[in-house]
Structure 1
Amino acid sequence: MTGRVGKARNILLVWLIWPLITLGIYHLVWYFKVNREARDFDGRIEVKPGLAVLAIAVGWLVIVPPFVSVYNTGERIARMQRTAGMQPTCNPWIGIILMFILGLYPLYYQQEMNRIWAQYEHLEEGERVPLAT
């Protein structure tokens, strides 16, 4: 089984700079991309990136969906780490807690994804790599 390499991003830009410049729109774009990269990296990960974004964008009206979506994204990243042959270090509960601390979960999740992409630093974004089972 193979998967596509994603993009390593600067965690400070993801968490603070781009969202400030774009008045929060970048956060939604980033969240879409992270979930799409999870799906593209491991085809066994079932996620609809648009639905994940919808859950954090308007799910606040029902209260629960953003928390479920952020938790599930953390689970996906941990699964990606296992699939990359790494010891999973991404904890979705930390992501939930960081939602309440200055919205730090993008910083944490991007750092965890960057650990995966660091294994493939010699490859371009989108290139196929063999996956562990």
Structure 2
Amino acid sequence: MTNQSATPHGYPESHGYPDQHGYPDQQSQPGQQSQPGQRGYPASQGHPAQEPHPIDGPGTSTGGFPIYAFRESLPGPEPEQGYPATPDYGFPGPNGAPGAPDPSAGAGVLGKHRNPFAVWLGLPLITLGIYYFVWVYKTNRELGEYDRRIQVNPALSLLAFLIGWLIIVPPFVAAWRLGTRTRAAQHAAGVPETNPVLAFVLFLIGVGPLFLQLELNRLWDRYPGAVEGQQVPLYR
């Protein structure tokens, strides 16, 4: 005898048994039409249609857990997009250029702020004059790194002061060029520029490093809050 309640596959319908999701089938209420493919209602033909998992779909991880759900569950504000804006380093002074950096000028690396009296007298005495040559090398290198438009070879400048005295002229040329490079860097920073003639004369009487280090410190002070080796904008 054929079971009238059998499905098209010959198996009796389940009444009150768990379905594939682990939930008991729901009985149709009076006046409610059964819809195939829903939980609690068998499909009329073929395999039952499966609903997509509530959190499946685009933007989910392999296990069906949505990536956005994890991201939104993290505490704190949303991260900012892009890079932070260039800090405002203020104005260079009453005689300087406007405070806005010039994009066409690019950027440079900030040099070291030094004690002028230590550069001029203290450290050279302690090191028996060696620090003076170290200062010449580092100062020329920092000026070239601050403004790439300044053409300088620190090693050649050092050799001019070390052994250039053999032919007399190179040390004077190197001293003059150090003053002009300092002025060029101050121009790029938009600060009042030094006088290279005065710097050269002071080199001749032995106080050139003291004067130029004061001028360099004024250049580095153009960027309050920045530290040595930090990239800073140019203004001209």
TM-score range relative to shorter protein = over 0.9
1:79 equivalent to 2:184? Answer yes
Deviations 1:67-94 (A, max 9, x none): 1101001000000000001121x22211
Q: Write the distance in 2 (CA, Å) between the matches of 1:26 and 1:6.
A: 17
Give the equivalent residue in structure 2 for 1:13. Answer: 118
Residues 70 and 92, structure 1, Cα contact 8 Å, conserved in 2: no
Residue by residue, what CA displacement relative to the aligned partner does 1:83-106 show, whole Å, maximum 9, x if unpaired?
001121x222112211232x1000
Mapped to 1, the partners of 2:199 and 2:157 lie a distance apart of 15
User: What is the aligned counterpart of 1:29 among 111, 126, 134?
Assistant: 134
Q: Distance in 1 between matches of 2:139 and 2:107?
A: 18
Distance in 2, Cα, partners of 1:56 & 1:115 = 25
Aligned position for 2:230: 127
Aligned equivalent of 1:60: 165
Residue 149 of structure 2 corresponds to 44
Structure number with greater Rg is 2
The answer to whether the 8 A contact 2:191-2:222 is kept is: no
**Residue deviations 1:91-122 (CA, integer Å, cap 9, x gap):** 22112211232x10000110000001111131
Gaps of 5+ in 2: 1-105
Query: 2:196 is matched with which residue?
Result: 92
RMSD of aligned alpha carbons: 0.9
Task: Work out the CA distance in 1 between the residues paired with 2:163 and 2:224.
Answer: 35
Identity %: 47
Specify which structure has the higher proportion of helix: 1
Give me the TM-score of the superposition, normalised by structure 2: 0.54
TM superposition score normalised by structure 1: 0.95
* Contact persistence 1:56–1:66 (CA under 8 A): yes
Following the alignment from structure 2 to structure 1, what is the Cα–Cα distance between the partners of residues 152 and 208?
19
Question: How far, CA to CA, are the matches of 2:107 and 2:172 in structure 1?
Answer: 30
User: How many angstroms apart in 2 are the aligned matches of 1:3 and 1:60?
Assistant: 33
Task: List, as ranges, runs of 4+ consecutive aligned residues in structure 1 with deviation greater than 2 Å.
Answer: none
CA distance in 1, matches of 2:164, 2:196: 18
What is the match of residue 111 of structure 1? 214
Show structure 1 runs of 5+ residues with no match. Answer: none
The amino acid that maps onto 2:218 is R
Equivalent pairs, count: 131
Q: Distance in 1 between matches of 2:140 and 2:157?
A: 8
The higher relative CO (CA closer than 8 Å, separation ≥ 6) is in 1
